């Protein structure tokens, strides 16, 4: 079950930038993205990496997530496919969402993610098929199949939740992604509890794990820099996309 074609997302499409399927980096950046990326890099370097270290602390503190509580829906954030198949990280996220659904903590699961990379199907469609194969009724699975990154995942899901009168989400992602997902959700005024997909396959404290943590710290710094930049310049077009 996808978002209705005549949804509010389409009615606003002329006002809010939407990255197209198979977007490259510049298309994903959208209005103001390149400027905020430059500012994040300059402030990080100019302040001797202190902003990155501060955000790294937030990333590390967020890896365990929150205690799950009953909510209106579960949201699985998308992950780029390998060809048309799921990565182990995406499977870990889906498995955590399945467990929450089977515990009765929410009656439905959103799977988010558009068509990215070289895939012929969307991340959301691939996730739906995995959940359906695990015995979850298709009627309990909702798709957000247009977005190209975390911000658009959450923006589009928020539209559907407001249309239905839903308020609360259990947001599922792998541990190192949770701090940025939480910050983005709060920026969009979404009421979320973050649930860590601990089975996502990066071994904790390994070299690859630390590399991912440092990258997430920079992306989190970039997000906050972009929010500040957007508010300072007062761009209505950009604010509609991030708040």
Cβ distance 154 to 117 under 8 Å?
A: no
Q: Residue 6 has what pLDDT?
A: 43
The average confidence (pLDDT) of the chain is: 91
Under the banding of pLDDT at 50, 70 and 90, the label for residue 5 is very low
pLDDT cut 90: percent of the chain above it = 77
pLDDT in tens, 153-200: 999 999 999 999 999 999 999 999 999 999 999 999 999 999 999 876
Q: Domains along the chain?
A: 8-12+32-242 (3.40.50.620)
pLDDT in tens, 62-117: 999 999 999 999 999 999 999 999 999 999 999 999 999 999 999 999 999 999 98
For residues 195-219, give the mean pLDDT: 88
Q: Residue 115 has what pLDDT?
A: 95
Q: Residue 198 has what pLDDT?
A: 83
| pTM listed for this prediction | 0.89
Tokens, residue 168: 């609360």
């Amino acid at each position: 079950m996808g978002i209705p074609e005549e949804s509010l997302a389409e009615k606003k499409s002329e006002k809010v930038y939407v990255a197209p399927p198979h977007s490259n980096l510049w298309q994903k950046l959208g209005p103001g993205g390149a400027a905020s990326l430059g500012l994040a890099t300059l402030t990080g370097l100019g302040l001797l990496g202190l902003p990155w270290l501060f955000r790294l602390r937030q990333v590390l503190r967020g890896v365990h997530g929150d205690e799950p509580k009953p909510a209106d829906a579960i949201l699985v954030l998308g992950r780029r496919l390998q060809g048309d198949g799921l990565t182990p990280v995406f499977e870990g996220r889906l498995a955590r969402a399945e467990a929450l659904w089977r515990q009765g903590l929410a009656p439905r699961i959103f799977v988010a993610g558009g068509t990215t990379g070289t895939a012929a199907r969307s991340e959301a469609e691939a996730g739906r098929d995995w959940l359906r194969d695990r015995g979850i009724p298709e009627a309990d699975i909702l798709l957000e199949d247009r977005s190209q990154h975390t911000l658009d995942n959450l923006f589009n899901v928020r539209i559907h939740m407001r249309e239905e009168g839903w308020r609360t989400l259990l947001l599922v992602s792998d541990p190192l992604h949770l701090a940025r997902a939480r910050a983005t959700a709060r920026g969009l005024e979404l009421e979320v509890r973050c649930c860590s997909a601990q089975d996502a396959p990066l071994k904790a404290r390994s070299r690859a794990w630390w590399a991912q943590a440092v990258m997430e710290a920079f992306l989190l710094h970039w997000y906050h820099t972009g929010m500040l930049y957007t508010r300072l310049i007062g761009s209505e077009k950009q604010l509609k996309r991030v708040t």
